């Protein structure tokens, strides 16, 4: 079983649902792919990729060149390389998907769409951000409207199947008129073998003081001020807790803004930002902490999302405090891996204090979280379900067992 897979992510990529799912796990289950991608800086023809051949575009200097040249590269690969593949799949590229639909019909093979993020809505939201240059805002608004129309009115209605990020995203797409039976949710997961290898060296000693750990971006849209306010309340209750943020902000100004907020609350000695670390080192730093935290405000873009970093912290065996969310909140609550709290400092602080007050119960939460990840969110388990979906979609009805 072989897919021609067009992606928008520059290659080599850090996206785990590409590297771990399509590059490592699915080939072991008989699903390979030819990857069509733009090049990352210094990209080689097959760097770190085990899923099959890689067809890279050539580097282009200008934004317009990357857009137009990228589309022409996609089109050329569709025409020249689609023969010999069982299906064509496009990830997060509505315009390329339109061409893929035409080529798929010409070749007589199915066309699938993989939607891991609401890019049209993100364009429209960014266009309305304060301080956005007028021309850039106009471009984002125009692109968001055009790609949104193509995606929801043409591509998803005509493709043979769509893989979406979560049950909530499937519900949202069904509300737009996309047949529910033609969508399969595929949440984000983790490669447990990779995590275990990262922790397999010297023993990971716990932090001396109670430490909360957040993993990921410090982007302002995540409203991480909540974690500072929750930390202040935890410390005011007599618990000398610290907050470790393993990650960084998209720009230095945003990082400095966050540190200034910590200073304003008297927390500058209780907050550490590591910056971006190699993945294994990030996991090792996080594994020393006592409680994993993941807060995300609900909105039309975030509600359908599936969150990788909360699952990584669960895989490390940490008890969790997460904001109420259709993905992470339900996973933590159903598994008993921690507490799902309303998006407020008071609720987060109360949940953190509850976990820190009972170390035995916290260890049990961590164990349950790890078991839930192994059963539901490891890429080995996800790959089993995705491979079965491909077999079902690509096996003629009369030939199915």
388 has pLDDT over 70: yes
Q: How many CA atoms lie within 13 A of 89 on its CB side?
A: 27
- pLDDT, mean of residues 114-120: 95
As a whole number, the mean pLDDT across the chain is 92
CATH number at residue 129: 3.40.50.2000
Tally of domains within the chain: 2
| Structure-token pair, residue 53 | 């051949």
> What is the full DSSP assignment across 26-64?
GGGGT-EEEEEEPBPTT--SSTT--SS-EEEPPP-SSHH
Do residues 178 and 95 share a domain?
yes
Whether residue 330 is found in the same domain as residue 221: yes
Mean pLDDT to the nearest integer, 350-370: 97
Per DSSP, the residues of 213-269 read EEES---GGG-THHHHHHHHHHHHTT---EEEEES--SSHHHHHHHHHHHHHTT-TT
216: left (phi over 0), alpha (psi -120 to 50) or beta: left
| Own/partner pairs, 7-10, CB within 8 angstroms, 24+ separation | 7/35, 7/36, 7/37, 7/91, 7/92, 7/93, 8/38, 8/91, 8/92, 8/93, 9/37, 9/38, 9/91, 10/37, 10/38, 10/39, 10/40, 10/41, 10/43
Task: Supply φ then ψ for residue 6, to 5 degrees.
Answer: -95, 125
Cβ(326)–Cβ(352) below 8 Å: no
Distance CA 280, CA 369 (A): 20
* In a shared domain, residues 362 and 247: yes
For residue range 247-292, list pLDDT tens digits in order: 998 888 888 999 999 999 999 999 999 999 999 999 999 999 999 9
Q: Measured between alpha carbons, how far is 326 from 300 in angstroms, rounded to an integer?
A: 12
- Contact of 155 with 348, CB cutoff 8 Å: no
| DSSP bridge partners of 37 | 56
* Contacts of 349 by beta carbon, 8 Å cutoff, 6+ apart: 229, 230, 231, 233, 234, 237
How far lies 200's CA from each of 26, 204, 234, 309, 315, in Å?
A: 25, 9, 32, 20, 14
- Is there a single domain that holds both residue 74 and residue 205? no
| Res 401 pLDDT > 50 | no
275 and 212 housed in the same domain: yes
Same domain, 182 and 256: no
- Rounded to an integer, the average pLDDT of 369-388 is 97
* Containing structural domain, residue 310: 192-377
Report the share of the chain in percent with pLDDT over 70. Answer: 96
Residues 197 and 105 in one domain: no
Describe the crossing of helices 63-81 and 94-107 by its angle, rounded to 10 degrees.
10
Residues 90 and 219 in one domain: no
At 111, the pLDDT band (50, 70, 90 cuts) reads: very high
pLDDT exceeds cutoff 70 at 399: no
What band does 397 get if pLDDT is binned at 50, 70 and 90? low
Q: Which pLDDT score, from 0 to 100, does residue 398 have?
A: 47
Same domain, 20 and 131: yes
Question: Which whole number is the average pLDDT over 117-130?
Answer: 92
Question: Cα–Cα distance between 35 and 214 in angstroms, integer?
Answer: 33
Residue 351 class from Cβ within 10 Å (0-12 exposed, 13-18 middle, 19+ buried)?
buried
Please check whether residues 146 and 212 belong to one and the same domain.
no
Q: Are residues 86 and 218 in the same domain?
A: no
Question: Is residue 314's pLDDT more than 50?
Answer: yes
Q: Does pLDDT of 21 surpass 90?
A: yes
Tokens standing for residue 181: 């039976």
- Residues 39-60 have pLDDT tens digits of 987 655 545 578 889 999 888 8
> Hey, which residues does 340 pair with through a beta bridge?
322
pLDDT tens, residue by residue, 229-246: 999 999 999 999 999 999
Segment 149-186, tens digit of pLDDT: 999 999 999 999 999 999 999 999 999 999 999 999 99
List beta partners, residue 242.
Answer: 211
14 & 75 share domain: yes
- Residue pair 99/74 in contact (Cβ under 8 Å)? The answer is yes
């Amino acid at each position: 079983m072989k897919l021609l897979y067009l992606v928008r992510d520059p290659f080599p990529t850090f996206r785990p649902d590409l590297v771990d799912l399509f590059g490592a796990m699915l080939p072991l289950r008989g699903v390979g792919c030819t990857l069509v991608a733009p090049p990352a800086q210094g990209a080689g023809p097959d760097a770190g990729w085990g899923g099959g051949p890689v067809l890279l575009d050539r580097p282009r200097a200008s934004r317009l060149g990357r857009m137009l040249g990228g589309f022409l590269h996609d089109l050329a690969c569709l025409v020249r390389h689609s023969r010999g593949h069982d299906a064509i799949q496009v990830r997060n590229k509505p315009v390329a998907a339109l061409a893929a639909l035409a080529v798929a019909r010409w070749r007589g093979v199915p066309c699938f769409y993989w939607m891991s993020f609401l890019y049209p809505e993100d364009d429209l939201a960014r266009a309305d951000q304060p301080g956005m240059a007028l021309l850039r805002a106009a471009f984002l608004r125009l692109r968001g409207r055009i790609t949104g129309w193509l995606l929801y009115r043409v591509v998803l209605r005509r493709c043979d199947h769509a893989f979406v990020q979560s049950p909530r995203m499937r519900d949202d797409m069904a509300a737009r008129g996309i047949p529910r039976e033609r969508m399969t949710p595929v949440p984000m997961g983790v490669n447990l073998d990779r995590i275990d290898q990262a922790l397999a060296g010297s023993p990971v000693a716990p932090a001396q003081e109670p430490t909360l750990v957040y993993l990921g971006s410090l982007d302002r849209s995540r409203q991480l001020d909540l974690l500072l306010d929750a930390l202040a309340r935890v410390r005011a209750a007599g618990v000398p807790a610290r907050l470790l943020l393993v990650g960084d902000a998209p720009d230095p100004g945003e990082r400095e803004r966050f540190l200034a907020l910590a200073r304003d609350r008297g927390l500058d000695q209780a907050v550490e930002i590591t910056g971006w670390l190699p993945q294994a080192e990030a996991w090792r730093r996080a594994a020393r902490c006592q409680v994993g935290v993941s807060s995300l405000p609900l909105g039309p873009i975030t509600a359908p999302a599936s969150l990788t970093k909360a699952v990584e912290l669960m895989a490390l065996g940490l008890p969790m405090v997460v904001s109420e969310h259709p993905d992470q909140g339900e996973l933590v609550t159903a598994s008993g891996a921690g507490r799902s709290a309303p998006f407020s400092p008071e609720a987060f602080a109360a949940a953190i204090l509850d976990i820190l007050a009972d170390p035995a119960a916290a260890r049990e939460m961590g164990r349950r979280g790890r078991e839930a990840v192994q059963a539901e969110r490891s890429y080995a388990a996800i790959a089993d379900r995705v491979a079965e979906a491909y077999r079902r979609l690509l096996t003629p009805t009369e030939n199915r067992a």
